[in-house]
């Protein structure tokens, strides 16, 4: 039974309302849509739109999570190298103050290796700070050694040279903050 015959069918006893949707496209013709098809087409269109929206949201969320993981990994890598450098340099500064001889052993090699590793990823101000720390350690080593008790007295009286690691530590903190800020 066709749509036209259903509208005027005597066995139905009544007339169905005509659903006429005109589409005036490029050719100016009209298009008739069967009301029985409107529901399934609407459902299919809604499912397509809903599915594509979910897909786009999932892709966006995954990309954001990947970015967070990359930044967290980068921060962890930098923190590890910076902390190792600070620990090694602190030990060498104390050793440079208390000993008279200059010896290149594993601690000094490790410090130079960490500084060279920083050159791979750290900004120039951090690398410059690491080089300044290394120069300060060499300068302190060239001075005559001080007994540990005397070193403690000078540190308490503030007559000791400024901490050679302070500027480096501040540059590292700024660098880590900048890397973390790239997430936002």
Domain boundaries, the chain: 72-181
pLDDT of residue 102: 76
Arithmetic mean of pLDDT, 96-104: 80
Assessment of whether the complete model's pTM goes beyond 0.75: no
Looking at the predicted structure, is the pLDDT value of residue 89 above 90? yes
| SS3 (DSSP) at 140 | helix
- 95 and 107 Cβ atoms separated by less than 8 Å: yes
pLDDT of residue 96: 86
Arithmetic mean of pLDDT, 49-73: 89
Half-sphere exposure of 85 (CA within 13 A, CB side): 30
Residue 78: name the closest of 183, 178, 167, 166 by CA: 178
Residues of the chain above pLDDT 90, percent:
35
pLDDT of residue 43: 86
Assigned token pair, 87: 């620990």
Distance between alpha carbon 178 and the CA centroid of its chain, in Å? Answer: 10
Confidence of residue 167 (pLDDT cuts 50, 70, 90): very high
Residues of the chain above pLDDT 70, percent:
76
H/E run at residue 32:
none
| Torsion over CA: 30, 36, 41, 42 (sign) | positive
pLDDT of residue 24: 52
Looking at the predicted structure, is the pLDDT value of residue 76 above 60? yes
pLDDT of residue 105: 84
pLDDT of residue 103: 75
């Amino acid at each position: 039974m066709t749509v036209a015959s259903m509208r005027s069918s005597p066995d139905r006893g009544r007339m169905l309302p005509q659903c006429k949707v005109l589409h005036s496209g490029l050719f100016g013709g009209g298009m008739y849509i069967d009301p029985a098809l409107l529901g399934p087409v609407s459902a299919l269109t809604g499912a397509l739109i809903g599915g594509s929206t979910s897909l786009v949201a999932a892709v966006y969320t995954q990309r954001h999570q990947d970015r967070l993981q990359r930044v967290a990994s980068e921060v962890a890598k930098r923190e590890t190298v910076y902390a190792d450098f600070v620990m090694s340099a602190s030990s060498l500064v104390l050793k440079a103050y208390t000993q008279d001889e200059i010896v290149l052993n594993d601690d000094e090699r490790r410090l130079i290796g960490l500084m060279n590793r920083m050159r791979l990823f750290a900004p120039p101000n951090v690398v410059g700070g690491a080089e300044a720390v290394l120069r300060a350690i060499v300068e302190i080593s060239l001075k005559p050694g001080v007994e540990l008790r005397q070193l403690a007295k000078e540190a308490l009286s503030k007559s000791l040279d400024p901490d050679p690691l302070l500027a480096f530590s501040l540059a590292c903190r700024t660098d880590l903050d900048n890397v973390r800020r790239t997430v936002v």
